[in-house]
Amino acid sequence: MENNKKTALITGGSRGIGRAICLKLAGDGYNLVINYAGNYQSAERTKSECQGLGANVVLVQGDVSCMNDCEKIFSAAQEHFGSVDLLVNNAGITRDNLIIRMTEQEFDSVIGVNLKGVWNCMKLAARIMIKRRSGRIINITSVVGVTGNAGQTNYAASKAGVIGMTKSLARELAARGVTVNAVAPGYIDTDMTAALSDNIKESIKNTIPMGHTGKDHDIAVLVSFLASDDAGYITGQVIHVDGGLAM
């Protein structure tokens, strides 16, 4: 255990935006607890890269929609590093479909991971941070939670719910020295968007005032700032990183 370093717990940290956040926080000097759902190889690669930046890293597999798994993740953090100073709720899934075709399971699974999973982890983090009278919680939501998107009633509901929970918990914890904020990415270059056709990519770019998609690094640097001492008077905010898409 290294008490001179702060500890960050990142859910869904093995790939994409989560991986970029882990790498940035590793460079910032955090101990890392990286949660992943199932892709052990990606999680190990992220762990190795973060260790190369000087971070102490613990990997914990778990489904954040399950409170028992979340308790296991937080227990690992406290066992290895003593506490949790920063929680980044990044884990998320999509099960897109038009509502007339969307199954109940497709709706429930997205709400379970994207909304209940955030609630589970915030509840456990709040218990720790209230006692310490300090901490940072950063929730990764989405521009879709603000604008909506055809074929994503489940995803939009989950991400809009995260915004409501962020503001509510910010009010609960502000007097205890804990800030709670949300980051709302727009279209970010990830494995998911890389699979889209060139025509779809071009149509997406045409909807973005800045004319191009974002990078996962754009999200990671904002998370880094919101986690820092410089952001100590910022709470209950939803900050868009979307090239102007949701102005």
For the four alpha carbons of 143, 90, 195 and 101, in that order, the dihedral sign comes to negative
Of 81, 82, 90, 119, the closest CA to residue 22 belongs to 90
Could you give the count of Cα atoms lying within 13 Å of 48 in the half-sphere of its Cβ? 6
* Residue for token pair 């456990």: 124
The catalytic residue among 30, 36, 155, 187 is 155
- β partners of residue 182: 139, 238
Q: Report the alpha-carbon distance of residue 122 to residue 229 in Å, rounded.
A: 20
| 40 included as an active-site residue | no
Contacts of 192 (CB under 8 A, 6+ apart): 16, 94
Quick check: 175 and 132 in contact, CB under 8 A?
no
Active-site residues, by number, are 155
